[in-house]
Amino acid sequence: MTTSRTSYVYVGLAGETAPNRPVKSGLYRMAAGDDRWQLATRGLPDAPTIRAIAANPEHPEVVYAGTQHGPFRSVDHGDHWERVDIADHGLPVWSLLFDPRDAKVMYAGYENCEIFRSEDGGEHWRQLPVTVRFPEVTVAPGSNPAKRVLKLAANPANSDELYGAIEVGGVIRSLDGGEHWENMSHGQYVNDDTVDMHGVIVGRWRPGSVFAIGRAGLFCSSDQGEHWSSARLEPLNPKGQTYCRDIRETPGDPKTIWVAAGANFQSDVGVLFRSKDGGTSWARVDMGVKPQTTMFALAFDERHPKRVFCATTGGEVFASEDGGQSWIERPLPEGATQVYAMACA
């Protein structure tokens, strides 16, 4: 493996797996501080749809990408890719997670609520017994029957405490490293909106706090997901809701949390929200630029925490070197839209 001090930002294109939805493909890479994107798809499947990207926190040259044909791995910052040996069921990968305390432990989340775990750096994988049953609302006429694990999160203080954001299905939790899971969205099944989850993180500023985002906004829990309340972000659509797609904590600063949002799945509004008090209050960020489509992804450079990137579904990418105080545009090449995944390492 080669070691480099250069950081790279990666952006993956994809689409929904439901019928008749637009699907783009490709994986792009740019060196931090540069303004040129490279297509980094050598060894990936034809027309790769990339819905998850994760870099090894101890070896940033090792990067994983979740595709429609399982996870792929690169050991050279994305120059070359090879398929990971995993006995999956051929469904798309939607999420990837490194254990925050042991980078040899990894998780991959799939469509239809399948989760796989590796304990040896991705060499061998085992499917976890996810036996959660979902209420009828998620299979009602007109709802999306797939149960995609859009995001996985672990408690940095106790990595056996895991959460999954399920689209459509709410939040699931395991307290034993994924051997048993339970549905933590009791009382939220008012309609599909409230359990259409897109992301989840464990807040480090206050023990027990968990944040989950979805079609209906941002939800907060102070007791490991047992109970939830709405964070009441500034509403961006006529329903009085805020469509949220990504949530990240600033590395090394657990009080500062960011949310990527918009009016709807596809809209002409792209917004970042930020909390500076561990999630108690939230404010819209004045980026100095006006994104034209829904903000879909956020990424921080763990080695340079003031370096942050965000991307819209329309292929707009914005970069900041000062913790989000000022932004410059780094748009993807023409036609590169449907951004689904982003990482920096």
pLDDT at 82: 97
Query: Alpha helices, DSSP H only, in 155-197?
Result: none
**Cα 272 to Cα 285: distance, rounded to the nearest angstrom:** 5
**Cα 165 to Cα 15: distance, rounded to the nearest angstrom:** 18
Calculate the dihedral angle through the C-alpha atoms of 46, 146, 21, 191, rounding to the nearest 10 degrees: -160
* pLDDT confidence tier of residue 3, bands split at 50, 70 and 90: very low
The pLDDT tens digits of the residues spanning 250-290 come to 999 999 999 999 999 999 999 999 999 999 999 999 999 99
End-to-end CA distance of the chain: 15
* pLDDT confidence tier of residue 134, bands split at 50, 70 and 90: confident
What residue spans define the domains of the chain? Answer: 8-344
Please compute, for residue 211, the number of CA atoms within 13 A of its CA located in the half-sphere on the CB side. 31
DSSP 58-112: S-TT-EEEEEBTEEEEESSTTSS-EE------SPPEEEEEEETTEEEEEEEEETT
The CATH number of 8-344 is 2.130.10.10
pLDDT reading at 193 higher than 80: no
> Which residues have C-beta within 8 Å of that of residue 53, sequence separation ≥ 6?
10, 12, 27, 63, 64, 65, 66, 96, 341, 342, 343
Q: Nearest-CA neighbor of 271 among 245, 251, 249?
A: 245
**Lowest mean per-residue pLDDT among 45-54, 136-145, 305-314:** 136-145
Share of the chain above pLDDT 90, in %: 82
* pLDDT confidence tier of residue 142, bands split at 50, 70 and 90: low
* pLDDT confidence tier of residue 1, bands split at 50, 70 and 90: very low
Share of the chain above pLDDT 70, in %: 94
In the predicted model, what is the mean pLDDT of the chain? Answer: 92
The predicted model gives 195-224 an average pLDDT of 94
